[in-house]
Amino acid sequence: MTLVSARELVSAAAVAGTGIGAFNVIHLETAEALVHASERAQLPVILQISQNCADYHGGFEPIALATLAVARRATTPVAVHLDHAEHPELVAEAIDLGFGSVMFDGGALPYEDNVALTAAVAKRAHAAGVYIEGELGEVGGKDGAHAPGVRTDPDEARAFVAATGVDALAVAVGSSHAMTARTASLDLDLIARLRAALPVPLVLHGSSGVSDAVIADAVRAGMTKINVSTHLNGFFTSAIRERLAADERLVDSRKYLAPAREALAGEAARMLRLFALQDAGAAS
């Protein structure tokens, strides 16, 4: 059993000056693929379950328990993390189910409201020994919130971390959620200034829209936890399309989900090596 806390993985990467991959689980096949990727790359991984994912499954507990079970069977260090929770009740449920880390997303709230609510959630998490990530400066993209000009101010970020007690901070530096083209331009100078200003690791959301070279530069500038979802979903979906197009008689979903799982695992393993600043090869 190698289930660990994101605290351990993110802290180790921050000390080493490398990145750690945090990939979103959509369903059981995703979780299995991501563990396969970790084992293939011989690198740790963080499996993330978002509030959107819980809504899709009609509740948090079933997908959460399944993902924890998959993580416990891994031969490499795997953490399971709650991603983009906007409701304190969901954070409490994740803590009760045994999650070692959570993200409370108050990034869309006015600053003072974000501070107050994040601080309250962080107090609850820390009382349970749980690592907590916060967000400052809304990362655009979802639900029409595309805002490429939003940036996190280093001085405000320092004050936010001090006031809330979060252990890691998601910052807005030019990325955007749900991008299918890898064309986002990151403010590397701002990343370096944020890294110098803050006592906690930085988290990059919306990394699917960022090229390999820019992600590697962002890690070197001070990014530690690198979140990816849409990019990997594309590999999964493309493999399903190819398999179904090749045989229109298929009715057993395992026949097309297995190659999709393999495609996702291969790309996730490559990205884990990229974030660790190892030779990851060319992007597929």
What residues are labeled active site? 83
Distance (Å, whole) CA 110 – CA 163: 15
User: What value, to the nearest 5°, has the Cα angle with vertex 191 and ends 80 and 267?
Assistant: 45
Task: Give the contacts of 165 (CB within 8 A, at least 6 positions apart).
Answer: 119, 122, 123, 126, 132
In the structure encoding, which two tokens stand for residue 219, read together?
């890690």
Distance (Å, whole) CA 212 – CA 280: 9
Distance (Å, whole) CA 274 – CA 215: 8
Distance (Å, whole) CA 129 – CA 88: 16
Distance (Å, whole) CA 189 – CA 250: 51
